[in-house]
Amino acid sequence: MRDSKKTTISASSPLGKRSGLSNTGILLLITVSLFVILYVSSTILFKDSNFAKYSVFFNLINNKAYLLMLALGLTVVLITGSIDISVGSVTGLVSMVIATMLSSQSNISAIWAIPISLLIGVAFGIVQGYLVSYMEIQPFIVTLSGLFFARGMISVINPKSVPISDKLFMSWSSAKVYIPFLYNERKNGTMDVAYLTPAAITAIAVLIIMIIVMKKTKFGRSLYSVGGNPQSALLMGVNVKRIKFMAHVLCGLLAGIGGLLYTLFAPSGNPQNGYGYEIDAISSSVIGGVMLSGGVGLPIGTLFGVLINSLIERVVPLLGIVDASWPRIISSAFLFVFIVLQSLFASAGHKGSFKPVLPQWMRFNLKKKN
């Protein structure tokens, strides 16, 4: 009964009438409108920065393709009511491994970067998933150790920065796929055509697959049921432990892909790579409408969460704040607002009567909205 809404339908209310949008719907609506408002106001406020251009919009995705992967992974585990904070370090580890592998001395084909990054991610997912679901250890502690381990391994492999010199890999990294219909004319008459990087295209493909998996497969729905009420899920025939395990493996896999895409975005290995990205991933998921208590969230919402973070990073310097720490502060403020918002939706169930957690003045009355 935990993620229930504030509004309990009184016995007299007409049966069968929906009391408004579901939690998922409301959270998604808030996120999307937030993004639209931010984007539109940026367009108006910063006329010189060309927010109205297609290319600027698409760059929001190009710059954060890797973050979308990490955030999708977090979305999956958060929906099952677990968490994975190792994704940032795994990203860093993958990029370091690829960079070391493709540095000037070796002559391994860049193709190998793909299976190796996936393998690293899955390996982390399997070990962590096993410890969380079958050994029943708190996911936070397990993945915290994963974070430590991955971060340490980076330095073990290579404590210094390594540039990638492999030609094939660099060509993937710098490739641009132009979208012919979406262009704006520059003042000097040339065309500014919007483009996507291979990394962004991969990310979008993965996003589409994830949307289908989450909505249309038995596995996807099981993830939601486990997060909603594991006891019920068990009674309804869901193998709860297995699903939790699989969620962690999937998150690991996505972190591996994220690492690969990150390396394409910033083609070098650096011990600091991926530092704190788990936080960005969590905040993207949460801003995108994933409930930390589990059971609620959509991959498409996570996309908007990532876009909001990407936009913040781009807009804040334009406000005249040069300091690199401000995007983090603002992003955290959003995270805070969304966590409080979630607390509005959450309620402590007491045998059928719903007890609101928040004081009266802070409550979000769904009935009025309707």
- Using CB under 8 A, which residues numbered 142 to 171 contact another protein? 142, 144-149, 151-156, 159
Token digits for 265?
């975005």
- Binding span for another protein by CB under 8 A among 29-37, 134-142, 175-183, 259-267: 134-142
Stretch that binds another protein, among 164-172, 175-183, 215-223, 303-311 (CB under 8 A): 215-223
Q: Please, what is the minimum distance in Å from the beta carbon of residue 266 to another protein?
A: 19
Nearer Cβ to another protein (45/362): 362
Minimum Å gap between C-beta 274 and another protein is 13
Q: Which of 105, 188, 190, 325 binds another protein (CB under 8 A)?
A: 325
CB neighbours of 189 closer than 8 A, spacing ≥ 6? none
Closer to another protein by CB, 114 or 153: give it: 153
| Least distance in angstroms from the C-beta of 189 to another protein | 41
Q: Which of 217, 318, 319, 365 touches another protein (CB under 8 A)?
A: 217
**Residue 325, Cα to own-chain centre: how many angstroms?**
21
Contact between 233 and another protein per CB under 8 A: yes
**Look-up of token digits 């710098």:** 174
Indicate whether 100 belongs to the interface with another protein (CB under 8 A): no
The minimum distance between CB 254 and another protein, in angstroms, equals 20
- CB of 161: closest distance to another protein in angstroms? 13
Q: Does 215 bind another protein (CB under 8 A)?
A: yes
- Within 78-97, the residues that bind another protein by CB under 8 A are 83
Distances (CA, A) of 154 to 151, 164, 248: 5, 16, 21
Query: Based on CB atoms, which residue is closest to another protein, 107 or 135?
Result: 135
E strands of the chain, at which residues?
A: 162-163, 177-185, 191-196, 268-269, 347-350, 353-356
Backbone phi, psi, residue 182, to 5°: -105, 95
Question: Which residue's entry shows tokens 């009391």?
Answer: 19
Q: Is 339 in the site for another protein (CB under 8 A)?
A: yes
Q: Is 283 in the site for another protein (CB under 8 A)?
A: yes
In the set 121, 258, 269, 295, which binds another protein (CB under 8 A)?
295
Report the DSSP pairing between strands 162-163 and 268-269: antiparallel
- Tokens encoding 234: 């068990």
To another protein, the closest distance from the beta carbon of 287 in angstroms equals 12
Q: Take residue 205 and report the two structure tokens written for it.
A: 């493909």
Instruction: Say which residues have a Cβ less than 8 Å from residue 237's Cβ, sequence separation at least 6.
Output: none
Cβ neighbours for 307, distance < 8 A, ≥ 6 positions apart: 35, 60, 61, 64
Nearer to another protein, 31 or 331 (CB): 331
Taking CA atoms, 86 is separated from 143, 150, 251, 253, 304, in Å, by: 5, 8, 10, 12, 22
